[in-house]
């Protein structure tokens, strides 16, 4: 066979639990000219290697032993962003396993290599895939940066060229349209694709676009059709579950996820999804069943998640078994030093300790939970911390946390209901409704006042008000977007002010990062253009 | 006790892993004959598993867009190390992209190639082209051609013979049927033109 040296500058990782297979594959890639090769027998060791090296190519066997598989390993790498989109991941397997098709397209391997294979075939496959990576390298970088407009433009170039990467580019473009918040354009794009040739992924894309623009019934119909045609496509079940949930039907969501679990019982992501839905329904028995599987399966593997323990602990406490919750949390804290810093786990521990009759330990745990910077915590964690405060009698702190949470998400009515419920459940029924209503009103009032003052020509004070509110509630996208617009508006009419422009840019970028499709962004961009034109023309 | 089908699937998986080691071992020693025996044994196992799936209604085509030149280039490379016959490739008329299940098409063409290898005198020709809105994958040999009983037998009634030819053709027809675009379905066309010609046609 022909020897090549093309690969001498490429680094490659081999992951296989069987020593013979590792050394055999190693010698095979050696024959192809790879010189920088690292072999690992376990996912844990492979993760160690990622700390020391960067790899261009990963050849991972599907079966890894130790309760993990190549798919779980890949999901872990991609969701934690341990590898970028430019890294080639090839799954080596004896049979193509369709059931391992997972939620997100980005968690799919670049390719499957079916055993047995000859060195020639491996060589051809690597050449082809590396060529594709090279052709898509610019798009991969734009995607990693979240520059969706750039991604769409780059994809259009390839689509127009109508070469072999055309369909790859279409696939990426559809995702980019959705990520950019262009839901209507995405619907039209996928519908055109389906007219040309119906493929499962474009149907799934259409269903996702319909769901995001709020056409819940059309999305459900598309997904039901897709599941009938491709019952192994797990992503369709996951999305259908989400659509049911968004439509306020957790029972239907749970039923869909259950049927997905029956087809693909090894997916951790799906058991976690079942737990989330069951949590929402308040069905803690189901939460316990689902997470117990996940926790057992990931124990002592790199795939374990601290939040699985926290949510399992919460379910056990809710089921009246706080001692059991204390015990599993204790085990986690003993074995994993980092877990002590997790505010969610600490909050759950506080409630469990309180219920188990250890108020001192409860207080210590809650103090740990309150050390975290509240502004950066996800909603679920914030709710857990508030609940812990309420359970241990620290009502004032709880109310402060909840008020801020409602104000950060002042239009999220489902969250408002959960806030009211948690207050009611902890003997604060009297203020359960008023806390939410007052918090929401305060935000509405603030927005109205700002608009009124702006109309009255008080642009500076209006911008000032919104800036203060945005700094207090950095998670409230509407307030932050309004603050950016108000600052630019002030600058446009009252003249350039470096500090105001800088602050406006910070707010604008923050909105772009979390909500690239936010409607206010177009207005902000127009203001920026007007400012440029005005001050460039006047020579300032 | 595990159910037989699950046990069989695990066993097939295990044996394929060992055959993979054997292939890599033979490759290092430049032993083409052992490599062929191991590759063909693995192909037999794949056929067994897919035949079980076909028989229990679990055989499905997971259709996606692929460059058809890729799979045949790989197969040509795979077979050239297994035989002293000439393996020719004709890709001039191949479409840039077509929609099909690559793993299933690979299995079907692999079987056709082993069959051609048994009957060819000097050469095997793999070609890809388009006709009537279909992509056509053809495997032709310069042997005596298909016997009349194979060309004349109704598609699904083909019995499996000792060489697995019957099972291979049964699966090839199943795979063709599984590929559809709207009302159009794939088909398997067998013929004799200076040797046997096996042609898998799938709607574009």
Kindly tell me the number of DSSP H helices and DSSP E strands found in chain B.
6, 9
Which two three-digit tokens encode residue B129?
Answer: 């082209």
At B175 the pLDDT is 96
Specify the pLDDT at position A397.
93
User: Which of B9, B46, B73 shows the shortest C-beta gap to A124?
Assistant: B73
Burial B152-171 (b: 16+ CB within 10 A, else e): eeeeeebeeeeebbbbbbbb
Q: Is B10 on the interface with A (CB under 8 A)?
A: no
| Residues linked to residue B128 through DSSP beta bridges, in sequence order | B137
* pLDDT > 60? residue A63: yes
Q: Tokens in use for A2? A: 């022909």
As a whole number of angstroms, the longest Cα–Cα distance in chain B is 54
d(C-alpha A151, C-alpha A177), whole Å: 9
Q: Locate the chain B residue with the closest alpha carbon to A23.
A: B21
Tell me, what's the pLDDT at A226? 93
**How far does CA B86 lie from the centroid of its chain?**
18
Q: Would you say A60 and A25 are in contact if contact means Cβ atoms under 8 Å apart?
A: no
* Phi and psi angles of residue A40, each rounded to the nearest 5 degrees, phi first: -135, 145
Mean pLDDT of A310-316: 97
Least-confidence region, from A207-216, A325-334, A367-376, A478-487: A367-376
Whether residue A347 has pLDDT greater than 90: yes
Nearest by CB to residue A120, choosing from B13, B21, B77, is B77
Which one of B12, B19, B24 has the shortest CB-CB distance to A28? B24
Average model confidence (pLDDT) for chain B? 90
- The tens digit of pLDDT for each residue in B33-47 reads 999 999 999 999 999
Cα dist. A160→A153, A284, A522 in Å? 11, 52, 28
Nearest to A61 by CA among A124, A11, A117: A117
- Indicate yes or no: CB of B97 within 8 angstroms of CB of A27: no
Please give the Cα distance from A407 to A410 (Å, whole number).
Answer: 5
What is the number of other CB atoms lying within 10 angstroms of the CB of residue A383? 20
Give me the pLDDT at residue A100, please.
46
Output the six-digit token pair for A498: 């470096």
A221 — pLDDT class (breaks 50, 70, 90): very high
Residue A6 has pLDDT above 80, yes or no: no
Distance from CA of A464 to the nearest CA of B (A): 55
Question: Cβ separation of A119 and B19 shorter than 8 Å?
Answer: no
Q: How would you classify the pairing of strands A11-15 and A57-61?
A: parallel
> Beta strand pairing status for B196-203 and B187-192?
antiparallel
CB A234 within 8 A of CB A264: yes
Give the pLDDT confidence of B114-158 residue by residue, as tens digits. 999 999 999 999 999 999 999 999 999 999 999 988 887 655 545
Q: What is the pLDDT of residue A265?
A: 78
Residue A345: is its pLDDT beyond 80?
Answer: yes
Residues A465, A485: contact at Cβ < 8 Å? no
Task: Give yes or no for residue B202 having a pLDDT over 70.
Answer: yes
Q: What is the pLDDT of residue B178?
A: 94
Closest partner residue to B28 (CB to CB) among A27, A163, A164 is A27
Residue with tokens 């670049």: A110
Cβ of residue B76 closer than 8 Å to a chain A Cβ: no
- Provide, as residue numbers in chain B, all residues whose Cβ is less than 8 Å from the Cβ of A2: none
The ipTM (two decimal places) reads: 0.93
Residues in chain B: 204
Sort strands A111-114 and A88-93 into parallel, antiparallel or unpaired. Answer: parallel
A283 dihedral zone (left: phi>0; alpha: psi -120 to 50; beta): beta
Q: What is the pTM of this model?
A: 0.80
A-chain CB neighbours of B13 within 8 Å are 63, 94-95
Could you tell me which chain A residue has the CA closest to the CA of B11?
Answer: A94
Cα–Cα distance measured from residue A463 to residue A206, given in angstroms and rounded to the nearest whole number: 40
Q: Which of A20, A25, A118 to mutate to test the interface with B (most CBs of B within 10 A)?
A: A118
B11 interaction partners in chain A (CB closer than 8 Å): none
Q: What is the mean pLDDT of residues A16-45?
A: 92
Tokens 């291979």 belong to residue: B168
Q: Which residues of B touch A20 (CB under 8 A)?
A: 21
Q: DSSP strand E in B8-97: where?
A: 64-66, 86-90
For chain A, list residues whose CB is within 8 angstroms of any CB belonging to chain B.
Answer: 1, 18, 20-21, 24-25, 27-28, 31, 63, 94-96, 98, 112, 114-121, 123-125, 128, 162-164, 166-167, 197-201, 230-232
pLDDT digits (tens, 9 = 90+) for A130-148: 999 999 999 988 988 788 9
pLDDT of residue B161: 53
pLDDT above 70 coverage of chain A, percent: 96
Of the candidates A344, A399, A346, A347, the one whose C-alpha atom is nearest the C-alpha of residue A377 is A344
Partner-chain contact A116 B60, CB within 8 Å: no
Percent residues over pLDDT 70 in chain B: 93
pLDDT tens-digit readout, A409-423: 999 888 999 999 999
CA-CA distance, A520 to A510, in Å (whole number)? 13
Q: A144 to chain B nearest CA, in Å? A: 24
Rounded to whole angstroms, how far apart are CA atoms B171 and B160?
11
Higher pLDDT: A76 or B19? It is: B19
Q: Mean of the pLDDT values across residues A387-415?
A: 93
Phi and psi at residue A382, to the nearest 5°: -60, -40
Tell me which chain B residues have a C-beta less than 8 angstroms from the C-beta of A119. Answer: 24, 27
In total, the C-beta contacts within 8 angstroms joining chain A to chain B are 103
Write out chain A residues lying below 8 Å of B23, CB-based.
116-118
- Closest by CA position to A234, among listed A211, A202, A201: A201
For residue B9, count other CB atoms closer than 10 A to its CB: 17
**B80, HSE (Cβ side, Cα atoms, 13 Å):** 17
Nearest residue of A to residue B50, measured between CA atoms: A95
Residues of chain A positioned with their CB less than 8 A from the CB of B16:
94-95, 115-116
- CB A119 to CB B27 under 8 A? yes
pLDDT digits (tens, 9 = 90+) for A274-298: 999 999 888 999 999 999 999 998 8
Peptide bond into A155 cis (omega under 30): no
Res A3: pLDDT:
44
pLDDT tier for residue A102 given thresholds of 50, 70 and 90? very low
pLDDT at residue A477 above 60?
yes
Rounded mean pLDDT, A7-23: 92
């Amino acid at each position: 066979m022909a020897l090549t040296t093309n690969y001498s500058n490429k680094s490659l990782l081999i992951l296989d639990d069987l020593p013979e297979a590792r050394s055999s594959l190693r010698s095979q890639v050696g024959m192809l000219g790879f010189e920088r090769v690292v072999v690992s027998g376990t996912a844990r060791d492979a993760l160690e290697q990622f700390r020391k090296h960067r790899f261009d190519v990963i050849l991972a066997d599907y079966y890894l032993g130790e309760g993990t598989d190549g798919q779980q390993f890949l999901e872990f790498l991609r969701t934690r962003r341990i590898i970028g989109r430019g890294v080639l991941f090839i799954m080596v397997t004896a049979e193509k396993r369709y059931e391992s098709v997972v939620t997100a397209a980005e968690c799919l391997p670049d390719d499957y290599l079916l055993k047995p294979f000859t060195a020639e075939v491996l060589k051809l496959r690597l050449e082809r895939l590396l060529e594709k990576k090279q052709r898509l390298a610019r798009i991969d970088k734009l995607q990693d940066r979240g520059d969706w407009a750039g991604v769409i433009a780059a994809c259009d170039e390839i689509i127009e060229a109508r070469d072999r990467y055309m369909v790859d580019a279409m696939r990426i473009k559809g995702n980019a349209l959705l990520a950019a918040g262009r839901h209507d354009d995405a619907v039209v794009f996928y519908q055109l694709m389906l007219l040309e040739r119906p493929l499962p992924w474009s149907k799934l894309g259409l269903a996702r676009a319909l769901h995001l623009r709020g056409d819940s019934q059309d999305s459900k119909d598309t997904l039901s059709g897709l599941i009938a045609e491709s019952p192994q496509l797990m992503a369709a079940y996951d999305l259908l579950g989400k659509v049911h949930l968004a439509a306020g039907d957790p029972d239907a969501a749970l039923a869909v996820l259950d049927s997905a679990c029956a087809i693909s019982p090894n997916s951790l992501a799906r058991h976690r999804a079942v737990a989330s839905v069951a949590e929402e329904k308040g069905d803690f028995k189901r939460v316990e069943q689902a997470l117990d599987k996940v926790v057992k399966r990931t124990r002592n593997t790199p795939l374990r998640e601290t939040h699985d323990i926290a949510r399992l602990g919460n379910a056990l406490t809710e089921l009246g078994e706080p001692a059991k919750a204390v015990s599993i949390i204790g085990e986690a804290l003993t074995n994993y030093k980092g877990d002590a810093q997790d505010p969610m786990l600490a909050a759950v521990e506080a409630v469990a300790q309180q219920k188990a009759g250890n108020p001192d330990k409860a207080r210590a745990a809650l103090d740990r939970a309150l050390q975290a910077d509240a502004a950066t915590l996800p909603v679920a964690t914030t709710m857990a911390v508030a609940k812990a405060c309420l359970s241990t009698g620290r009502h004032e702190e709880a109310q402060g946390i909840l008020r801020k949470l409602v104000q950060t998400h002042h239009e999220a009515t489902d969250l408002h209901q959960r806030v009211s419920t948690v207050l009611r459940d902890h003997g604060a029924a009297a203020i359960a409704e008023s806390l939410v209503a007052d918090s929401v009103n305060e935000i509405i009032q603030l927005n109205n006042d700002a608009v009124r003052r702006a109309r009255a020509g008080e642009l500076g004070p209006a911008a000032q008000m919104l800036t203060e509110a945005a700094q207090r509630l950095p998670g409230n996208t509407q307030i932050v977007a309004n603050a950016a617009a108000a600052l630019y508006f002030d600058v446009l009419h009252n003249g350039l002010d470096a500090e105001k422009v800088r602050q406006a840019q910070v707010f604008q970028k923050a909105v772009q990062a979390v909500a690239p499709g936010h409607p206010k962004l177009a207005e902000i961009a127009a203001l920026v253009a007007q400012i440029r034109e005005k001050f460039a023309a006047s020579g300032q | 006790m595990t159910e037989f089908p699950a046990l069989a699937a695990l066993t097939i998986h295990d044996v394929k892993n060992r055959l993979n080691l054997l292939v890599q071992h033979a490759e290092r020693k430049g032993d083409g004959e052992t490599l062929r025996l191991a590759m063909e044994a693995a192909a037999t196992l794949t056929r067994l598993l897919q035949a079980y799936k076909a028989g229990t209604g679990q055989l499905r085509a997971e259709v996606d867009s692929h460059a058809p030149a890729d799979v045949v280039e790989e197969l040509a490379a795979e077979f050239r190390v297994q035989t002293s016959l000439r393996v020719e490739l004709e890709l001039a008329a191949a479409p840039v992209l077509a929609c099909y299940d690559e793993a299933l098409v690979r299995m079907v063409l692999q079987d056709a190639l082993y069959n051609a290898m048994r009957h060819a005198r000097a050469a095997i020709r793999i070609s890809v082209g388009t006709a009537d809105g279909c992509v056509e994958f053809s495997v032709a040999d310069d042997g005596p051609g298909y016997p009349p009983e194979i060309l004349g037998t109704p598609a699904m009634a083909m019995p499996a013979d000792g060489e697995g030819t019957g099972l291979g053709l049964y699966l090839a027809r199943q795979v063709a049927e599984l590929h559809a675009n709207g009302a159009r379905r794939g088909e398997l066309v067998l013929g004799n033109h200076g040797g046997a010609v096996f042609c898998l046609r799938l709607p574009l």
